[in-house]
Amino acid sequence: MANTQKKADIKLTKPGRQRPARSLKYDLPSPKISMADTLMSEFSHLGLSSDEKNKLSRQHREYFCSFKLLTEKDIKKSRQELIKMLKDFQNEALVIKASETGALICLAAIFSGQLPQNTEWRFELEEIPLPFFPKELIKKSTAAQSFEISFKYHENGALKPFPTLKKAPAYMGLASDHDINEFRPLSKDRAAA
């Protein structure tokens, strides 16, 4: 399979406004996906239910591999550009919206520990398979406690048949309320457990 570019869009909006204050567009290199990468055995560590495994088509596996094979090196430049831009807004309330790869870049920025603390920022992240967020991108595990983070999944999105892929791994330190798809930082007591 050929290497292609993976597009990522991130929009920074002031609360109550429709028009973005700024938009970022990235072209990340899509990792080369081999046949071996898409074998069912490569997804066994996710703990998918029998029903989820039955729905995990080759097309789904290729899609998820595009997240699974991204490395810190692949997203480092994009993450740093986002961090730099967000620092320009550190005294303003913001809603940061992104989906798929853009959402992954936002999480990488959040967990970098380089974003300003005590900001009024809400991250609205859509359609990201959370178990594929690379653990090595977590530089400061408590960094997410400074922000409001919401994960949303569309009724007809690629993740609809896979509830397991909507759950944040323990290493992210996020607790979820599955009824409203809101993820909030774990309390220090729960994160230590």
pLDDT tens digits, residue range 106-123?
Answer: 999 999 999 998 899 999
pLDDT for 2 beyond 50: no
pLDDT for 190 beyond 50: no
Band of the pLDDT at 176, cuts 50, 70, 90? Answer: low
The lowest-confidence range among 8-17, 65-74, 101-110 is: 65-74
pLDDT tens for each residue of 14-55: 988 888 888 888 777 777 888 999 899 999 989 999 999 999
CA 162, chain centre distance (Å): 16
Non-local (6+) Cβ contacts of 10 within 8 A are 23, 24, 26, 82, 96, 97, 98, 102, 105, 106
The whole-chain average pLDDT of the chain stands at 84
Residue type present at position 53: K
Q: Of 81, 69, 51, whose CA–CA distance to 129 is shortest?
A: 69
- Residue 56 or residue 23, greater confidence: 56
- The first and second tokens of residue 11, run together, are 């929009």
pLDDT value of residue 94? 93
Q: Of 91, 86, 88, 142, whose CA–CA distance to 113 is shortest?
A: 142
pLDDT for 69 beyond 90: no
Rounded to whole angstroms, how far apart are CA atoms 176 and 171? 14
pLDDT value of residue 81? 92
Cα 118 to Cα 28, 82, 143, 148, 191: the distances in Å are: 30, 18, 11, 11, 20
